[in-house]
Amino acid sequence: MSVVSYEIIDGVGVIRLNNPPVNALSYALREGIIDAVNAAQADASRALVIVCDGRTFVAGADITEFGKPAREPSTTTVIATIEQSAKLVVAAIHGTALGGGFELALACHYRCALSSAKVGLPEVKLGLLPGAGGTQRAPRLAGVDAALELITSGNAISASKALSLNLIDRVVDDELLAAAVSYAVELADAGAELKKVRDISIDPATAPAELFDKWRKTVGKKARGQTAPLLIIDCVAAAVTLPMDEGLVQERAHFTSCVSSPQSAAMRHLFFAERASAKIKGLAKDTAVREVKSVGIIGGGTMGGGIAMNFANVGIAVTILEVSGEALQRGLDLVRKNYGITVSKGKLSEQQMNDCLALIDGTTDYEGLCDVDMIIEAAFENLEVKQQIFAKLDAVCKPGAILATNTSYQDVDQIAAATSRPEDVVGMHFFSPANVMKLLEVVRGEKSSPVTVNTAMKIAKTINKIPALAGVCYGFIGNRMFRNYIAETQRCLIGGGTPEQIDNAMQQWGMAMGPLSVNDLSGIDISYAARQTQTQEQKGEPACYAIPDALVEMGRKGQKTGAGYYRYDAKTRAKSSDPIAMEVVEAMAAKHGVERRPISDEEIQNRVIYALINEGAKILEDGIAQRPSDIDVVFTNGYAFPVFRGGPMHYADAVGIKKVYDSICSYRDQFGEAIWKPSALLAQLASEGKTFNQWGQERE
Ligand code: 3H9
């Protein structure tokens, strides 16, 4: 079937696009649109409507075509053809008009949308900028400030918001095609002009230099290290000062440089990785998904409360179980407080907050959970405690209820063994703050049934999380790797670095915060407490935890005590370096026989990131992660790994596997095999000249 069809309805030529799943502007669609618009010029139609079949209006350029040789007609040619049509063209938008799709709509003379539709220019999330006129047309319609918000955030906006910004002209509630056709008839009857956005000029007084400076500062902070956002600002500035065609030339030049940049390659990799990670390899197509209409949460602490919010936000009823009425009240109060903060930021209405709160209930009795469809245990991180809880759940929960644990380290199989139905048990590991962080690590136990795992993976999408499937091991994917990241940070610290140097080096590299500042923020005492229950093997070598142990034992638990690796001002929380912390570092180095030496920023960056990569490769060898790209999804969505580096495994591919492997071998020679044992998979790929990506593709 052709991807573009054409018929005349009530005198209006309807160009219908049908390129599943999201009507991406692939070659066939581009060619079809041009042919249809050109052919319609000579027929009896009075005006044209462009409408899409399926779930959405055009969702943008076909991302799979980037990096391949360009093929005419380009999206730019499609857009020029539409804009130059001698017959008036109306875009009829449903679903999401995104990127090149919204740019196509902006080239139409009028735009009509369903009230449920959304529009946006998300290219920045792919390390790109709108390359088909978006940076020139959006500010001409919406003004510079609103356009910069739209394009630098990449977030889609509702039809009503777009209407208020002049980005669309009419919003309708249903019957989109009929409404768009009658809109076109109405415009044709009135002899309406062919409104071309390019003809609008922007009053320079509305776009002073200070406005652009403000945006450069904001974007420089929010998207530190990324190239595209700053180029977007340059393009929008050009829309103010240059004629349209010159602005388009500048936009195209910047777009072209972004498309071929390593940053965009990394972010496009993540786009597909995030979709792949939701798929369970080898799962039979007809595997059922259990319905989840109600959820029980064990534990109303920060984690339990955050998890509860995810479900209430999408209309799923939640019952929180706590050990006492007092603890329960504290938990419910915390949830209320968190919603209140969201309301005060204007991100939620009072009504929406009340609707969510009405869905969250509490109990202190396990019997209160006898009817729920899914239980997520978020209790104290201790195997025995969790086993006791699961034995109780086994006794009260209805058959078929999914029994999930939010454990970050404990053995899911041993937890499942406390029940008579291990097939219903699964790990669902949320990341803190659980109502914000996008990642959900789903842990498949030895006996978890396909239906149980499938349900856990599917519910992730319902609650707007990105799932990644992991097998059972200490720390699963994320924390197993993160332990190596932290351990190497500690080796760099005790071996010669300072907290400032290490944090700056890692921040420069792209991490949102340096590892030691993160530790101060979350509390050094948390991992200290965890270590008290760990075996020596789990703890690793003493040099890796001697410094944090000493700091905690001095009462320096991080920001909450005003001191940790740094000192914090009691009022402003401003951070400053602290000679006492350095005394601890030096004393611990002496105690553990480590000779401190100057260490370069590059060495810190390489050692810390290569430690992650080496462990990631071992995780693949062990079959704990399904694919290399899943590891990238885990790290970028759960650990603030910079998206423009694409995740640890993509980064290894970008650096070159051989180079990473050789460096790891040299660290092994320097620091010993107990710490730096190169992964066998890494060695294999290095000798075969293959990337992780190729290795993963071969196994799909
Ligand atoms: C651009 O437009 C540049 C222009 O400025 C310049 C041009 C010169 N291409 O997300 P889903 C696939 S840049 C190719 O699960 P949903 C996706 O991989 C582009 N494939 O569905 C998945 O495949 P699979 C700017 C695409 O309903 C399947 O479609 N546009 C594209 O949850 C379903 O996707 C964007 O960045 C694409 N553009 O969400 C929008 N989009 O089934 C990107 C999707 O094999 N797309 N696929 O895993 C989206 O944000 C979401 O897909 C959307 C639907 C919201 C549309």
Is residue 654 classed as helix, strand or coil in its secondary structure?
A: helix
**Cβ of residue 64 lying under 6 Å from some atom of ligand 1:** yes
500 catalytic per annotation: no
C-beta of 233 in contact with ligand 1 (< 6 A): no
CA of 21 to the centre of ligand 1 (A): 9
Candidates 83, 103, 274, 615; catalytic one? 103
Residue 102: strand, helix, or coil: helix
* Residue nearest ligand 1's atom 23 by CA: 275
Give 604 Cα–ligand 1 centroid separation in angstroms.
Answer: 37
Atom 28 in ligand 1: residue holding the nearest Cα: 21
Residue 638 one-letter amino acid? G
123 is catalytic: yes
Q: How far apart are CA 272 and CA 294, in angstroms?
A: 31
**CB contact at 8 A, 675 and 608:** no
d(CA 6, CA 15): 5
- Looking up tokens 């995810």 gives 310
Protein residue closest via CA to atom 16 of ligand 1: 22
**CB of 211 within 8 A of CB of 145?**
yes
DSSP 328-380: HHHHHHHHHHHHHHHHHTTSS-HHHHHHHHHTEEEESSGGGGTT-SEEEE---
Q: Are the CB atoms for 120 and 147 separated by under 8 Å?
A: no
C-alpha dihedral, 38 to 42 to 47 to 51, nearest 10° = -40
Among 123, 251, 274, 500, the active-site one is 123
Q: Is 259 in the pocket of ligand 1 (CB under 6 A)?
A: no
> For residue 457, how far is its CA from the centre of ligand 1 (angstroms)?
20
**Pocket probe mutation, ligand 1, options 3, 52, 62, 63, max atoms within 8 Å of Cβ:** 63
Nearest CA to ligand 1 atom 5: 130
Q: Which of 17, 22, 136, 462 should be mutated for ligand 1, with most atoms under 8 A from CB?
A: 22
132 lines ligand 1 (CB under 6 A): yes
Rounded to the nearest 10 degrees, the angle between the axes of helix 601-621 and helix 657-671 is 100
Q: Does ligand 1 come within 6 angstroms of the Cβ of 24?
A: yes
Q: Say yes or no: CB of residue 103 within 6 Å of ligand 1.
A: yes
Cβ of residue 497 lying under 6 Å from some atom of ligand 1: no
Report the candidate in 126, 470, 479, 453 with the shortest Cα–Cα distance to residue 270.
Answer: 126
CB of 100 within 6 A of ligand 1: the answer is yes
Burial class (CB in 10 A: 0-12, 13-18, 19+), 596: middle
Contacts of 209 (CB under 8 A, 6+ apart): none
What the block records as the tokens of 616 is 């990631």
Per-residue H/E/C for 411-451? CHHHHHCCCCCHHHEEEEEECCCCCCCCEEEEEECCCCCHH
Distance 271 CA to ligand 1 centre (A): 8
CB under 8 Å to 609, separation ≥6 — which residues? 509, 648, 651
302 burial class (0-12, 13-18, 19+ CB within 10 angstroms)?
middle
Helix, strand, coil share of the chain (percent; to 5): 55, 15, 35
- Residue 236 has a pLDDT of 98
* Contacts for 373 with CB less than 8 Å, ≥ 6 apart: 290, 291, 292, 293, 294, 295, 400, 401, 402
C-alpha 529/C-alpha 666 separation (Å) is: 34
Cα–Cα dist 448/456, whole Å: 11
**186: Cβ–Cβ under 8 A, 6 or more apart, which residues?**
none
The closest residue, in CA terms, to atom 6 on ligand 1 is: 131
% of the chain beyond a pLDDT of 70: 100
Residue 385's CB: how many other CB atoms inside 10 A? Answer: 13
Output the pLDDT for position 380: 87
Could you tell me the distance, in angstroms and rounded to a whole number, from the CA of residue 583 to the centre of ligand 1? 53
Q: Which residues contact 293 (CB under 8 A, 6 or more apart)?
A: 316, 317, 373
User: Tell me, what's the pLDDT at 81?
Assistant: 98
Strand partners, 9: 12
Q: Using DSSP, state whether 683 is helix, strand or coil.
A: helix
Sign of CA dihedral 613, 614, 620, 624: negative
One-letter amino acid at 234 equals: D
What separation in Å is there between the alpha carbon of 62 and the centre of ligand 1? Answer: 7
Q: Is the CB of 176 under 6 A from ligand 1?
A: no
The DSSP letter of residue 596 is: P
Q: From residue 642, give the alpha-carbon distance in Å to each of 229, 371, 440, 633.
A: 15, 42, 18, 11
How far, in whole angstroms, is CA 511 from its chain's centroid? 15
Q: In ligand 1, which atom is closest to the CA atom of 76?
A: 8
What residue ranges of the chain have pLDDT lower than 70? 1
Annotate 460-476 with three-state secondary structure. Answer: HHHCCCEEEEEECCCCC
CA atoms within 13 A on the CB side of 111: 32
Q: Which two tokens stand for residue 674?
A: 């107990």
Q: CA triplet 287, 473, 697: central angle to 5 degrees?
A: 55
Please tell me if the CB atom of residue 120 comes closer than 6 angstroms to any atom of ligand 1: no
Ligand 1 pocket check for 679: Cβ under 6 Å = no
Smallest Cα–Cα separation from 129: which of 144, 142, 148, 146?
148
Instruction: Indicate if the alpha-carbon torsion angle 549, 555, 559, 563 is positive or negative.
Output: negative
